[in-house]
Structure 1
Amino acid sequence: MPETKNPQLTPELYAYVLEHNPPLNAAQRELVETTHRKLADAAFLQTAEEQGPLLAFLVRLTGARQIVEVGTFTGFSTLSMAQAMPADGRLIACDVSEEWTAYGRDAWAKAGVADRIDLRIAPAIETLRALPAGRWIDFVFLDADKGSYLDYWEELVPRLAPGGLLVADNTLYHGEVVDPTAGGGAAAIRAFNDRVRADDRVDDVLLTVADGLTLARRI
């Protein structure tokens, strides 16, 4: 049995990680705080704080100009990526909630990146199926309903540009992926993880970041 080198992530160690990551800027911090204040019961849906700087880092690393996000919530991840992309880039954000994304719209406008973001309110699978064919997407962030991850994957991977990167969140699903009796979202994520591993169109790695983060690069 392999032994983990991961230390237990205590509150003190987590605070240390955040202190040694790039700090959130004023727009990001305000959006995080607004989400927790106005949507306390749903705030757990927000992308983990350390993932904002990570997503921005990956966008800059890949030079992504064409980004698709599946699952926007209040737009923290969207804001993080939009601020990192070139001014002439475009980010298509897919969500079904006008209420939640309204907080994002305000934050994007305040940060001066609203013109880079194309928010599409509709079932994400419909939005993805309507996207142009061909290999043109540079970067994807997938953080939506887990039961549809496989469907989203099959729409997105054929559209990834060579070297394009797909980042999928929650791929450890609270640790429940290792429980073969767990159904629902855990079962859906297990099936997704198996599909990613078997897909010869991509190189992939699963990381123990937040609730599990899979990075898949289009070959």
Structure 2
Amino acid sequence: MNDAAVLDDNAASTARPVTPSTILAQELGDVCRQLAAAGGVDAAVLDRLQRARDLAAGLDPYLDQCTTPESPALTELARRTRGTDWAAPDAGGGRLEQEMLSGHVEGQVLKFLLHLADARRVLEIGMFTGYSALAMAEALPDDGVVVACEIDSDVARFAQECFDRSPAGHKITVEVGPAIDSLRRLAAQSPTPRFDFVFVDADKSGYLDYVEFLLAGDPLSPRAVIAVDNTLMQGQPYGDTDLTVNGAAIASFNAALTYDSRVEQVLIPLRDGLTLIRRTP
């Protein structure tokens, strides 16, 4: 990725709504503007709609405000990610977008979960520019390790540059290539590395395969937790809407997980949905 793909802060594009709450806020805002322009709408009804819009629009900023601030290294990584033109051919050519960044609140949730789990070894499936990998590395002890799988070599280089400039970046090892191939390489090592925590945020059609690989093999420590991102997928799995390819993949994943007797899970409405999974005793 060359400098032509990097924008200055003022030119960085505005993130589009990609979570149920931000999509709801945008929809309510559009309805409020249309009704106000049309005229003849009862003022009390319009006021209620505007309050509903404000409730939805204010949620994420308030969560951000009330969450422990991110580290300077994470702030810089996020700034570089948001300041990059991901539509440029040498920056992914439209396959990537800044909205793929995990972000402040989710990063802090992951750090909190690692502290609770007393984790030392973490596996990440799908890294993008490395925000979640670096956040988790910051939560690990000095001898902790994050193994991050990323299919895009250019994005992996972008992330590695950020890791090299950060105090915790030395804890992260990046595996470049299709995630399932990286998982097989890890499983073939002797002894097989075992992980206390796994974060899955990769291609949605691969989610079932990744979790099945983790559950069927021996890469997990006895009390390991698997966290899977985007399991609300913009509200598509439960909304009255046509499913995209990703929406259909997540709906299938959620349904399969619900009836899997090997695990117990909870879907948390954080950003675009975060499902926590653990093996049943």
Query: TM-score under structure 1 normalisation?
Result: 0.90
The structure where strand makes up a greater share of residues is 1
1:141 equivalent to 2:202? Answer no
Unaligned runs of 5+ in 1: 1-6
Return the letter of the residue paired with 2:232: L
The SS at the match of 2:67 is coil
In structure 2, distance between residues paired with 1:20 and 1:180? 33
- Which of 150, 159, 169 aligns to 2:229? It is 169
Return the letter of the residue paired with 1:73: F
In structure 1, distance between residues paired with 2:85 and 2:104? 16
Kept in 2, the 8 Å contact 1:31–1:103? The answer is no
The SS at the match of 2:187 is coil
What's the counterpart of residue 106 of structure 1? 161
1:201 equivalent to 2:262? Answer yes
Measured after TM superposition, the shift of residue 44 of structure 1 is: 1.1
Question: 1:51-70 maps to which residues of 2 (within 5 A)?
Answer: 51-70=106-125
- State, as a whole percentage, how many aligned pairs show the same letter: 36
Alignment root-mean-square deviation, CA? 2.0
Kept in 2, the 8 Å contact 1:48–1:210? The answer is no
Q: Once structures 1 and 2 are overlaid, which stretch shifts more, 17-26 or 104-113?
A: 104-113
Measured after TM superposition, the shift of residue 181 of structure 1 is: 4.8
In structure 2, distance between residues paired with 1:60 and 1:118? 20
- Which of 68, 86, 89 aligns to 1:22? It is 68
Measured after TM superposition, the shift of residue 112 of structure 1 is: 2.2
Question: 1:1-219 maps to which residues of 2 (within 5 A)?
Answer: 10-39=56-85, 41=87, 42-132=97-187, 136-158=194-216, 159-178=219-238, 179=240, 181-219=242-280
Q: Which runs of structure 1 show a deviation greater than 4 angstroms over 4 or more consecutive aligned residues?
A: none
Measured after TM superposition, the shift of residue 183 of structure 1 is: 4.4
Return the letter of the residue paired with 2:215: V
Q: 1:130 to 1:76 in 2, by over 3 A?
A: same
Summarize deviations over 1:67-97 as a string: whole Å, max 9, x none: 1101101000000001101111111100111
Kept in 2, the 8 Å contact 1:31–1:76? The answer is yes
What's the counterpart of residue 3 of structure 1? none
Measured after TM superposition, the shift of residue 135 of structure 1 is: 8.4
Q: Once structures 1 and 2 are overlaid, which stretch shifts more, 36-45 or 80-89?
A: 36-45
Q: Once structures 1 and 2 are overlaid, which stretch shifts more, 192-201 or 73-82?
A: 192-201
Unaligned runs of 5+ in 2: 1-51, 88-96
Q: Which has the larger radius of gyration?
A: 2
Q: 1:39 to 1:52 in 2, by over 3 A?
A: farther
Measured after TM superposition, the shift of residue 180 of structure 1 is: 7.6
Kept in 1, the 8 Å contact 2:231–2:254? The answer is yes
Measured after TM superposition, the shift of residue 103 of structure 1 is: 2.5
Return the letter of the residue paired with 1:109: D
Kept in 2, the 8 Å contact 1:46–1:73? The answer is yes
Q: Once structures 1 and 2 are overlaid, which stretch shifts more, 205-214 or 106-115?
A: 106-115
